[in-house]
Amino acid sequence: MFMKQIMQNYKTGELKIEDVPTPLTRRGGAKIRTRYSLISAGTERATLEISRKNLLGKAKARPDLVKKVMDTTRKIGIKNTFDLVMNKLNASVPLGYSLSGVVLEIADDVSGIRKGDRVACAGAGYANHSEEVFVPRNLMAKIPDSVTDQEAAFTTVGSIALHGVRQAGVHIGDNVGVIGLGLVGQMTVSLLKAHGCRVLGIDLNERSVSLSKEMGAEMAVLRNDSLLEEKMERFTNGIGLDSIIITAGTDSNDPFMLSSQVMRDRGVLVVVGGIRMEIVKSVSSLFYLKEIDIRFSRSYGPGRYDAQYEEKGNDYPPGYVRWTENRNMICFLDLIETGKIDIKPLVTHTFPFSNAMDAYKIIEGEQSEFYVGILLSYEERKKHEPAKIFVNEHEALKGTLSIGMIGAGNFAQANILPFLKGNPDVRLNGICTAKGMTAKSVAEKFRFKYCAGDPLEILDDKDSQLVFIATRHDSHAEYVVRALRKGKHVFVEKPLCVSLPQLEEIIKTVAHLKDTGKLYGLMVGYNRRFAPSSLKLKSFFGGSDAPVTLIYRVNAGYMPPDNWYQDPAQGGRFVGEGCHFVDFAQFITGSVPVSVHAFGIPEKQKTSSLVDNLTVSIQMKNGSLVVIVYNASGAPNMPKERVEVLGMNSSAVLDDFKALTLYRGGKKTVKRFPQDKGYHGEIASYLLHVKTGKGQLISFNSLVVTSLTTFAAVESMKERKRIDLDTFCPDIKLT
């Protein structure tokens, strides 16, 4: 199934409505058919302006991202960083983050909503300008019967305004100024009025000033009014404003200049608009005679979306976070339902979705019209639509290995697809991703024949001999089993699976196919063993099976609680990434684990599977000892990985796959490499195996042992004891 969605190329700035696959209904959320979406003019205009700048202009507009690029360059080198940046820039991005719609499909683990419910939805990357969207449960709220779909489409932006009012900590009778009377500013005025405050609105536009009086401002004045300060002093009886909420999006320090003049001592200044931190720092001296509490209200922080609570369809406990985004959404809808706020005056334009480009002409200034709230309306979609969109159907087919791909996030686009596209033996056939827009964008960028909205289109395609799987971890096992049963060669990104039942199902499938002689090549993306430095390290120890000691230190880095990696259903970070280091240990030692003992630093509200500061000790079958130190609390500028191997009167140190230092007989040799973690070598070896049977393929037993070891490590932390693999899961027979 396909739909239409607004897409923008971030490199060129081109904006258009395109046919893309519909999103998949995933765990923790629901698929929504959009009725109205709200154009957030300030945010979207800024996005459009930045995207249409050249590379230097983009860098000046986003110095925060430039810093990240510089940090990445120090870690992985100029060329790799350049490739990552170009890949990001050449991607299509969605616009919009506030809409109303009807629930079409619900994931099995979601409660509190039903098919057919009307809901307000929030979230950049979720509640986009699109005929259908997938939205996590905590970013949607049921619409009361008396609230219209048009009104509900304002919920996300209204919640932002509501959060700013909460940050101000206002009280009944307070004198509060709102600087910037755009969409968020007008909502802020109305909310403050409902809270019992005396509101003064300030803006550069006369129509905006007039509208704010309709929304509840007791006084509203133009910024360039010659009597502005006199009127303000009269409004506050000479005391000064108790609070000021800046909702203007500007690079000017004027809102702060004004605030410093009209705010009372020990007042509260809340910044909601898009004002850069450098401006705030530069004007702090303006308040030298007053003690002002400056607060920022740009994000919700804890409680916006946390997989630990989303797993059960719940929000953060109120005792920990009183007002989350979801509760602010519900509160805003309640205020509309009870008539305490009226946002109908804010609707200045409504366009059919098919005419959305006309709406953007207004906010970009191509058409000179006064606007505040611009809605896009959506018609019912056609019921019968094609299953595929052919992107490069008529391009000459090259290569003998036809590949279908399921999933293509940032990792796959940076570390898998470039090598597939550049291989002369490869023909990129079909692609399906959870977000339809991504599937279309990737198909165009990497020259796939078609994109699809259903993974079964990829699995059932007889033209695809190989299936590459790069989805979220909890879906790996299902797609591996399905693809193998369809007679496909399978390359799956790590991990192979995230639970023992999944592992058992894969083992059963492989055994059955092996017995029938229909088993095709299965590979897991354990790339590090294919790195040039790893091969040198392995060669240095001569391929001997003599025991060694291997210490693998990983500076994994902090990961926020709302990252999908932190969802218990994804297995946790050690199951999801630690498998890399277990596989590497097998490669270097030439042996397999037999026992595991893990110790973790416990964290509140985290299960053992989510602990990401841990040490894992592994006894190998040949007597080798392996210690994996996985840490998420180290300095981010420290290199990520370091390996030390000691044994046979020799030692070696591998530093972040850039330098290999070898010690033997008093002699030290240092070999330096451009950072290469083996992605290219891994894929080249696998494709060679599929084509000729000669490439290296990690044994299936090794793949099983790797997953089993990570599961045992988590169990060891939980039970606080050593785990022997041969008794950990008796149903799995190891060789």
Lowest average pLDDT, out of 69-83, 389-403, 568-582, 652-666, goes to 69-83
* Lowest-pLDDT choice from 36-50, 109-123, 147-161, 484-498: 36-50
**Range of lowest pLDDT (186-190, 362-366, 593-597):** 362-366
What pLDDT does 472 receive? 94
Chain centre to alpha carbon of residue 401: 32
| pLDDT greater at residue 229 or residue 594 | 594
Q: What confidence score (pLDDT) does residue 729 get?
A: 83
Asked if 674 contacts 658 with a C-beta cutoff of 8 angstroms, the reply is yes
Q: What is the mean pLDDT of residues 319-342?
A: 88
Beta bridge partners of 451: 389, 431
Query: What pLDDT is attached to residue 384?
Result: 56
CA distance 114 to 293: 44
Nearest to 98 by CA among 37, 174, 169, 179: 37
- How confident is the model over 417-441, as a mean pLDDT? 91
Backbone angles phi, psi at 52, to 5 degrees: -90, 5
Q: What is the DSSP string of 611-672?
A: --SEEEEEEETTS-EEEEEEESSS-TTS-SEEEEEEETTEEEEEETTTEEEEEETTEEEEEE
Does pLDDT of 350 surpass 60?
A: yes
Give the model confidence (pLDDT) of 616-661 as tens digits: 999 999 999 999 999 999 998 899 999 999 999 999 999 999 999 9
Of the chain, the percentage scoring pLDDT greater than 90 comes to 62
* pLDDT of residue 309 exceeding 50: no
**Residue given tokens 């007039």 in the structure block:** 210
pTM: 0.80
Residue reference for tokens 């909420």: 245
Q: How far is CA 576 from CA 285, 391, 456, 473, 581, in A?
A: 48, 33, 25, 7, 11
- pLDDT of 168 over the 80 cut: yes
Look-up of token digits 């240092």: 670
Distances (CA, A) of 731 to 21, 190, 200: 41, 64, 72
**Over the stretch 73-119, which tens digit does the pLDDT of each residue have?**
766 666 666 666 666 666 678 899 999 999 999 999 999 999 999 99
Does position 311 have pLDDT exceeding 50, yes or no?
no
Instruction: Collapse the DSSP code of 319 into the 3-class scheme (helix H, G, I; strand E, B; otherwise coil) and give the result.
Output: coil
Q: Hey, what are 379's tokens?
A: 């018609």
Mean pLDDT value of segment 345-363: 94
Can you give the pLDDT at residue 41? 82
Q: Which domains does the chain have, with CATH numbers?
A: 2-154+306-377 (3.90.180.10), 165-296 (3.40.50.720), 388-524 (3.40.50.720), 527-728 (3.30.360.10)
For the cut 60, the answer to whether the pLDDT of residue 174 exceeds it is yes
Q: Is the pLDDT of residue 297 over 50?
A: yes
Position 422 pLDDT exceeds 90 = no
Burial class (CB in 10 A: 0-12, 13-18, 19+), 381: middle
| pLDDT of 300 | 44
**Confidence label for 367 from pLDDT (cuts 50, 70 and 90):** confident
Q: Tokens 């079409």 identify what position? A: 104
Residue with tokens 């720092």: 281
User: What residues contact 563, with CB distance under 8 A and at least 6 apart?
Assistant: none
At residue 274, does pLDDT exceed 70?
no
Structure tokens at 538: 């392995």
**Both tokens assigned to 189:** 């005025």
- Reported as a pLDDT band with limits 50, 70 and 90, residue 61 is low
Residue 6: what pLDDT?
A: 93
pLDDT at res. 404: 96
Which pLDDT score, from 0 to 100, does residue 308 have? 42
Highest-confidence segment of 213-217, 367-371, 558-562? 213-217
Q: How many whole angstroms separate alpha carbon 412 and alpha carbon 91?
A: 13
The stretch 58-70 carries a mean pLDDT of 63
Q: What angle in degrees, to the nearest 10, is found between the helix axes of 63-76 and 78-89? A: 140
**Mean pLDDT (whole number) for 356-373:** 90
The tens digit of pLDDT for each residue in 687-705 reads 999 988 887 789 999 999 9
E strand or H helix that includes residue 200: strand 198-203
Q: What is the rounded CA–CA span in Å between residue 439 and residue 437? A: 5
Task: Give me the chain's average pLDDT, please.
Answer: 87
pLDDT of residue 549: 98
| Rounded Cα gap, residues 552 and 572, in angstroms | 19
* Nearest CA-CA partner of 423 in 398, 387, 448, 454: 398
Q: Which neighbouring-strand residues pair with 5?
A: 18, 130
Between strands 263-271 and 293-296, the pairing is parallel
pLDDT in tens, 22-33: 998 988 899 999
Q: Name the nearest CA neighbour of 723 among 621, 627, 618, 577.
A: 618
Q: What is the pLDDT of residue 200?
A: 96
pLDDT, position 560: 87
